[in-house]
């Protein structure tokens, strides 16, 4: 029996580990864990062509994984037994699959075409989505053309997005990724950290008369964002002669909370809305992407949405064995739950994707970092792995040593594009040669015989041997465009969904971030106090607060 897509009672679900496909995968793992990719490739010359999938211009080579055709078959069976198809349908139908917060999960509606219909609580949300997109486009065009001016009549040349988590990571990642499509006459900066340095550096050298702040916060109550927004207001007002009227020209908001936006002093006419069915980490294509649209223009933004939508449709309709996000998600489960791998390295060989690993960290870890199943019982297997990474080739000269010769198994996703956005002599061929060389070295390594044959003295041989058998996926597309970026982000969104559905967890809440927020609120007045107020924490926390108070004086 599959896990219900929208759990509505405390009814117990059938444990994942009791599924037929799960137990079959366990015995299959025991049977093939010792097999080397060298022999898998040697025995099956067509493997590198067969174990691939391609859709909407994205090519996935998953042949350098420690799998056989049977592994794929069993993993697909696991997806079927887990009711993945009905989970997908429930999401697209707008069911409240985020059942702990009683919310639908409809980032797919953010990129649905105008004529689509997705109903939440009896209402088709697609027209609202397009109304906000149109409002964003009109605003972006006014700012980009200079028609929207600041308080003193100067045109806006600088845009600062203030937000954190999903209200920052998506915007900053997309801006960096699509910089080559952006208006270079404008400056874009991002403030997230409550560390005052972040704000100070973001406004450094900027003329307040030419600076627009976008306060991006779903809730409009997040401590970091509201603190930075108030500092921005003070900075802007101080530079513009203290006229409160200037706020309307230099501040806009992106939020679901009109009441708090108005309280802050931003005219709600300058507010771009979204909905509680958009999770923070799934919001870069909602109004949270306003800074992206200002940078690349409405047409490019729409083409990014189109890329997202293409992947949504592929995910919704393609058979699992050809379905890119499903395959990526299943392979992740294979390493996480059977090989015991604890992390996944994401290695974009594209400098513009330098913030992509950081973006994926929130997407994957806030979604699948869960320890209870939908019926509230403790999971008896590992859920979300740790995601990390850096753009190639830089990582090769730092942490790849551990991936090649360390004691841990680290599955890697290599991401590359055939055409560079900035062609420069031999650079791109060199870059791509490194992608192929790394995946080859990881998979096949170098045997002691090969090392010896190079004339290496015996004592040095063990140090120079590469065990190989280190798995990787290669994701290859033609060119990094707004459309490809949308496809790529949706690929990972749906891989996360696939895994969450199989692990029987709710990928769409994030209660784990609450406790620290509550405790910080309690400690703020204690650390700010000039008098020695009594402290009632544990002895370590009390001692640290006392020491901080002394040192800061």
Whether omega for the bond prior to residue 393 falls within 30 degrees of 0, making it cis, is: yes
Measure the CA–CA gap between 338 and 381, rounded to whole angstroms.
9
Nearer Cβ to ligand F6P (3/256): 256
Sheet with 52-55, edge to edge strand ranges: 52-55, 58-61, 472-479, 412-419, 343-349, 386-388
The single residue of 81, 350, 366, 483 carrying the catalytic annotation is: 366
Q: How far is the CB of 164 from ligand F6P (least distance, A)?
A: 5
Known catalytic residue at 530? no
Helix then strand then coil, in percent of the chain rounded to 5, is 55, 15, 35
Can you tell me which residue has the tokens 């979604």? 367
Q: How far is the CB of 253 from ligand F6P (least distance, A)?
A: 11
Q: How far is CA 227 from CA 163, 195, 243, 404, in A?
A: 10, 10, 20, 44
Can you tell me which residue has the tokens 């997309």? 174
- The string of DSSP letters for 276-340 reads TTS-GGG-TTSGGGHHHHHHH-HHHHHHHHHHHHHHHHHHHHS-GGG-HHHHHHHHHHIIIIIS-
Nearer Cβ to ligand F6P (53/261): 261
Nearer Cβ to ligand F6P (513/519): 513
Q: How far is the CB of 330 from ligand F6P (least distance, A)?
A: 26
Known catalytic residue at 366? yes
Q: Give the residue at shortest CB distance from ligand F6P.
A: 280
Can you tell me which residue has the tokens 């949405």? 305
Nearer Cβ to ligand F6P (424/515): 515
The single residue of 12, 20, 371, 517 carrying the catalytic annotation is: 517
Element (H, E) at 344: strand 343-349
Contacting positions for ligand F6P (CB under 6 A): 164-167, 217-219, 222, 225, 280-281, 366, 510, 513
Nearer Cβ to ligand F6P (67/136): 136
Known catalytic residue at 397? yes
Q: How far is the CB of 280 from ligand F6P (least distance, A)?
A: 2
Q: How far is the CB of 224 from ligand F6P (least distance, A)?
A: 8
User: What DSSP state is assigned to residue 420?
Assistant: -
Which token pair is 14?
A: 């059938």
- Say how far residue 271 (Cα) sits from the centre of its chain: 25
The single residue of 397, 422, 530, 552 carrying the catalytic annotation is: 397
Q: How far is the CB of 191 from ligand F6P (least distance, A)?
A: 13
What backbone torsions phi and psi does residue 258 show, to the nearest 5 degrees? Answer: -60, -35
Nearer Cβ to ligand F6P (282/349): 282
- Mind telling me the catalytic residues? 366, 397, 517
């Amino acid at each position: 029996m599959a896990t219900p897509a929208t759990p509505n009672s405390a009814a117990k679900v059938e444990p994942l580990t009791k599924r037929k496909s799960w137990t079959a995968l366990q015995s299959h793992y025991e049977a093939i864990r010792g097999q080397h990719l060298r022999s898998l490739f040697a025995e099956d010359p067509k493997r590198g062509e067969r174990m691939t999938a391609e859709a909407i211009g994205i090519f996935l080579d998953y042949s350098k994984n420690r799998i056989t055709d049977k592994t794929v078959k069993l993993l697909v069976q696991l997806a079927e037994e887990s009711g993945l198809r009905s989970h997908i349908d429930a999401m697209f139908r707008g069911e409240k699959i985020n059942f702990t917060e009683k919310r639908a999960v409809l980032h797919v509606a953010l990129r649905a075409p105008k004529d689509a219909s997705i109903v939440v609580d009896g209402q088709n949300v697609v027209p609202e989505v397009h109304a906000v997109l149109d409002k964003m486009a009109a605003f972006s065009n006014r700012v980009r053309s200079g028609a929207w001016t600041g308080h003193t009549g100067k045109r806006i040349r600088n845009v600062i997005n203030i937000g954190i988590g999903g209200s920052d990571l998506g915007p900053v990642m997309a801006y960096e990724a699509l910089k080559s499509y952006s208006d270079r006459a404008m400056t874009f900066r991002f403030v997230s950290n409550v560390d005052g340095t972040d704000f100070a550096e973001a406004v450094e050298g900027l003329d307040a008369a030419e600076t627009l702040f976008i306060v991006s916060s779903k809730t409009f109550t997040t401590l970091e964002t509201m603190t930075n927004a108030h500092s921005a207001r003070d900075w802007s007002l101080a530079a513009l002669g203290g006229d409160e009227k200037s706020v309307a020209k230099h501040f806009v908001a992106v939020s679901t909370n009109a009441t708090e936006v108005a309280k802050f002093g931003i005219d709600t006419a300058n507010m771009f809305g979204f909905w509680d069915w958009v999770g923070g980490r799934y919001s870069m294509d909602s109004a949270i992407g306003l800074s992206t649209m200002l940078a690349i223009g409405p047409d490019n933004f729409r083409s990014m949405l189109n890329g997202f939508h293409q992947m949504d449709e592929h995910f919704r309709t393609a058979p699992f064995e050809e379905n890119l996000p499903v395959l990526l998600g299943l392979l992740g489960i294979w390493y996480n739950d059977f090989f015991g791998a604890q992390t996944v390295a994401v290695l974009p060989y594209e400098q513009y994707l330098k913030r992509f690993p950081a973006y994926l960290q929130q997407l994957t870890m806030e979604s699948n970092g869960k320890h209870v199943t939908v019926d509230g019982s403790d999971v008896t297997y590992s859920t979300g792995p740790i995601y990390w990474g850096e753009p190639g080739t830089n990582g090769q000269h730092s942490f790849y040593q551990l991936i090649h010769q360390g004691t841990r198994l680290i599955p890697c996703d290599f991401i590359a594009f055939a055409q560079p956005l900035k062609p420069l002599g031999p650079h791109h061929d060199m870059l791509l040669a490194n992608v192929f060389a790394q995946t080859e070295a990881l998979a096949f390594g170098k045997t002691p015989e090969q090392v010896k044959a190079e004339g290496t003295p015996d004592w040095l041989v063990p140090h120079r041997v590469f065990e190989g058998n280190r798995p990787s996926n290669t994701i290859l597309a033609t060119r990094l465009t707004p459309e490809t970026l949308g496809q790529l982000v949706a690929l990972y969104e749906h891989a996360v969904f696939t895994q969450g559905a199989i692990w029987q967890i709710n990928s769409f809440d994030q209660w784990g971030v609450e406790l620290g927020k509550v405790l910080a609120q309690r400690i703020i007045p204690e650390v700010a106090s000039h008098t020695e107020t009594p402290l009632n924490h544990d002895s370590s926390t009390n001692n640290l607060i006392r020491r901080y108070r002394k040192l800061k004086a």
